[in-house]
């Protein structure tokens, strides 16, 4: 039978080619206002091209993707462009007591009213 030969990952070739992907991404990101770098919708196509480029170069060097070296390169690009993009956590707090009491009492009162209506209607079965 035919014997399948597996190629070893040429890491040095991959590391030589990946900077071209970064350079291309950098050129595309120059078209985007730096204040909008945290808004993915502004550059999603550029980022997709960058990702495909890194995957293609890794595959051309017979390396799987993602791999630790490619991830390190991608992380460096992230630090260069997105280091100021932090996820702000929303701080939830309770509403004022007046609103909270109202939000609690309305369903309680409606439940009591419905129970009263059901009991009253069940005692008045002669009308139904």
* pLDDT of 6 higher than 80: no
* pLDDT of 5 higher than 60: no
Give the list of residues 6+ apart from residue 61 with CB closer than 8 angstroms, or none. 9, 10, 11, 13, 14, 17
Answer whether the bond into residue 19 is a cis peptide, omega within 30°.
no
Give the whole-angstrom CA distance, residue 85 versus residue 82. 5
The CB density around residue 72, as the number of other CB atoms within 10 Å, is: 12
77-124 residue pLDDT tens: 999 998 888 766 667 888 899 999 999 999 999 999 999 999 988 887
pLDDT at 3: 40
pLDDT at 87: 67
């Amino acid at each position: 039978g035919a014997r399948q030969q597996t190629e070893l990952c040429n890491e040095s070739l991959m590391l030589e080619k990946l900077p071209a992907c970064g350079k291309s991404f950098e050129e595309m990101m120059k078209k985007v206002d730096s204040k909008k770098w945290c808004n993915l919708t502004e550059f999603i196509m550029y980022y997709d091209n960058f990702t495909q480029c890194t995957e293609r170069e890794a595959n051309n060097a017979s390396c799987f993707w993602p791999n630790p070296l490619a991830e390190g390169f991608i992380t460096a690009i992230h630090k260069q462009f997105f280091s100021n993009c932090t996820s702000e956590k929303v701080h939830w707090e309770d509403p004022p007591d007046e609103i909270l009491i109202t939000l609690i009492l309305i369903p309680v009162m409606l439940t009591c009213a419905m129970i009263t209506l059901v009991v009253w209607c069940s005692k008045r079965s002669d009308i139904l």
